[in-house]
Amino acid sequence: MHSNGFMILMYFFETYLDLRQHAALKLPTLPKTLEGVISQEKFEKSRAYSLDKSNFHFVHEFVTILMDSAILFFGILPWLWKKSGNFLVLAGLDAENEIIHTLAFLAGVTLWSQLTDLPFSLYSTFVIEARHGFNKQTVWLFFRDMFKGMCLAIILGPPIVSAIIIIVQKGGPYLAIYLWGFMFVLSLVMMTLYPILIAPLFNKFTPLPEGELRHKIEDLASSLKFPLKKLFVVDGSTRSSHSNVRISLL
């Protein structure tokens, strides 16, 4: 109950901050610091988009706190832990194995999270973003990206979770150091693998052609002694018009 109360308290505090920001967004006049920088028309479009996002955020956060509070109040997580163990027994697996049981439990939690958040993701992408002309994503592409993300979670999640559980089981008095070391190494590995193996699954990377932009980037990297090896253009226009082209430094 204490954790639930703290969570609700944080929700009210963050909502108070969001309300202050929402009030600022409703101001119809262009701030003096932006006069001459952007036009009144662009300011109005930006304000309308930000207000839509803010209103959606209030609804999303309210539904989320209701669901999270209900999960804690009714003991859904312990119930799901028990049910995941029962599922393992029915599947002929060892429910007493902490690693297997934890993976089954996390699979259930992840599936629940995906299902409950899906309506909000769809509304944000295909209603709010589309209303303001930013969405370029098709329904097929949306669900394809979601499927790829779930596949990556299935491939990468179990080894990482298993390693953390083993460290906790055998860490002893140096548990914190071992966990820190593991997370540090994992961060370095993921930073290395992400642009090479993961990012290309979702975006198309093409080499930045010769030209003034490439020369300026190379000169900047050289002046900073940055070990620049490859330059790629990432085409994000198939999903959103917020940023059509991004530069990836590899």
Query: Token pair of 68, please?
Result: 């999270």
Whole-model pTM? 0.81
User: Measured between alpha carbons, how far is residue 14 from residues 63, 133, 145, 198, 215 in Å?
Assistant: 15, 29, 30, 33, 45
What local confidence, expressed as pLDDT, does residue 61 receive? Answer: 95
Q: Which of 153-162, 207-216, 230-239 has the lowest mean pLDDT?
A: 230-239
pLDDT in tens, 65-85: 999 999 988 999 999 999 999
Ranges of beta strands (E only) in 64-126 are none
What local confidence, expressed as pLDDT, does residue 209 receive? Answer: 85
Q: Which of 19-23, 229-233, 244-248 has the lowest mean pLDDT?
A: 244-248
pLDDT in tens, 207-223: 888 888 888 888 898 89
Q: For 15-31, what is the mean pLDDT?
A: 88
- Residues near 62 by beta carbon (within 8 Å), at least 6 away in sequence: none
**183 contacts 168 by C-beta, under 8 angstroms:** no
Q: Which of 5-19, 36-50, 137-151 has the lowest mean pLDDT?
A: 36-50
pLDDT at 237 over 80: no
The closest alpha carbon to 242, from 85, 129, 117, belongs to 129
For residue 240, the cross-strand partners are 135
pLDDT in tens, 31-43: 777 777 788 888 8
φ, ψ of residue 171 to 5 degrees: the values are: -70, -35
Q: Which residue has the tokens 């029915």?
A: 90
Ranges of beta strands (E only) in 71-142 are none
